[in-house]
Structure 1
């Protein structure tokens, strides 16, 4: 009998809690948004977005002040924000305090590519191409030279078929490898595509040039360059060599000034 009574009480307690939670959710849904809180996540090399700009964009959303929480379209808000070329990801939700929380991840550019007409665009870590920003110019590796590629449209990526036979995918591949190495990331400032489609790297320190050639055996070439910088140039100085040639298998050939 006692077990039966406990079971009945447990069921009644569960029913009361469920009813109470349902009432809370119902009442919460009838209310309106109380406040808007924007959080922008970015790397140290970011700044395309700011809170004021994003807050104004959110406030333009239809029904932001008048529609009950239960009927506010969070998906439409996320879609509106993600159309911004400088936004990588958006997650929006409304908490129990009726605050609209908008978490935004900013695109992280790793490369700026200049076309022959001097127009340029950014490439992010995932291979997305996006335009310049009048509010912010990041310090990045730049690529220029004989780059035969069309100007990217909206939502373009390096994987689009129009870029398949261009230098864009290889430039992204090369820049990704460079920025993954802390020393080379700080030292390589430019990638130049020469007239025969080979790559020269221009350093931040020193007046030498680095002949990379094609991107075959790229990991080995960059590993050799990293080792050369650490073991040779640190001791001998940054101005001793005119050319550092990485085009030969498993060796570096240098030309002194």
Structure 2
């Protein structure tokens, strides 16, 4: 009987590779976490600090550094970080060098509600608590705050943030009642009666035409109220 040495060599090589892989995997699991790195992704990184994240992990998961890698449950660590009200998303992974890296996206406030309850409205239209680390420079929302009026305020803020002039100049939204909203501007004394959130593009187009003409005429200071509530027109009340 002729022995096929090629098959035997291949089988031995396969066993050796599997053995080495198993040994390396076992050694890898026995290694400890050498370091923990917190990375904040994007520009909006003001509302929670690296120290706060580390404290959150210790309180809710236990110490991570010098812990056996096989003891870590990365999904659970992500859930712990995302439980913080300032965190929008978190991604956690281990490097081959034993470094635990957490990439965190913080939430972005676009408005601040001032009333009995004080909180931010974020870029997804959700309530976001105030931060002890930073106060966002966003339009102030006052008046009759309800679920529906907050939804409308979110629509208005989204429009404002997509327009360079409005984003720089609108400093407040006052909710008179559902369907009746007022805007306050940084450099002007007049109040803009916006009405409801329907036809915002047409309303602001008319407003910009009025503003350009009144600026040219040096008459902006003459007005107390600028109303955009009526179809395709701007109605002004002088001081």
Q: Same fold (TM over 0.5)?
A: yes
Maintained 8 Å contact 1:184/1:226: no
CA distance in 1, matches of 2:14, 2:202: 64
Equivalent of residue 213 in structure 2, options 228, 232, 237: 232
Q: Give the structure 1 partner of residue 68 of structure 2.
A: 68
1:173 aligns with 2:172: no
Maintained 8 Å contact 1:146/1:197: no
CA distance in 2, matches of 1:181, 1:15: 65
The worse-fitting range, judged by mean Cα deviation, of 169-178 and 51-60 is 51-60
Q: Give the structure 2 partner of residue 189 of structure 1.
A: 171
The worse-fitting range, judged by mean Cα deviation, of 244-253 and 54-63 is 54-63
Matches within 5 A, 1:25-64: 25-43=25-43, 46-60=45-59, 61-62=61-62, 64=64
Q: Give the structure 1 partner of residue 3 of structure 2.
A: none
Q: Of the two, which has the highest radius of gyration?
A: 2
Give the paired residue count. Answer: 233
* Inter-CA distance 15–181: structure 2 relative to 1 (3 Å threshold): farther
- What is the CA distance between 1:189 and its match in structure 2? 0.5
Q: Give the structure 2 partner of residue 154 of structure 1.
A: none
In structure 2, runs of 5+ residues without a counterpart are: 1-7
- What is the CA distance between 1:244 and its match in structure 2? 2.1
Q: Deviations over 1:37-85 (max 9, x none)?
A: 00112435x5111112212323443352454212311111111111111
Matches within 5 A, 1:135-214: 135-147=133-145, 149=146, 163=147, 166-195=148-177, 197-214=179-196
Maintained 8 Å contact 2:179/2:197: no
- What is the CA distance between 1:138 and its match in structure 2? 0.7
TM-score by length of 2: 0.83
* Inter-CA distance 106–12: structure 2 relative to 1 (3 Å threshold): farther
- What is the CA distance between 1:137 and its match in structure 2? 1.1
Q: Secondary structure at the match of 2:197?
A: coil
* Inter-CA distance 137–95: structure 2 relative to 1 (3 Å threshold): same
CA distance in 2, matches of 1:223, 1:11: 77
Maintained 8 Å contact 1:183/1:226: no
Q: Give the structure 1 partner of residue 81 of structure 2.
A: 81
- What is the CA distance between 1:199 and its match in structure 2? 0.7
Q: Give the structure 1 partner of residue 124 of structure 2.
A: 126
TM-score by length of 1: 0.78
The worse-fitting range, judged by mean Cα deviation, of 210-219 and 244-253 is 244-253
In structure 1, runs of 5+ residues without a counterpart are: 1-7, 150-162
- What is the CA distance between 1:13 and its match in structure 2? 8.4
- What is the CA distance between 1:16 and its match in structure 2? 7.1
Alpha carbon RMSD of aligned pairs, Å? 3.0
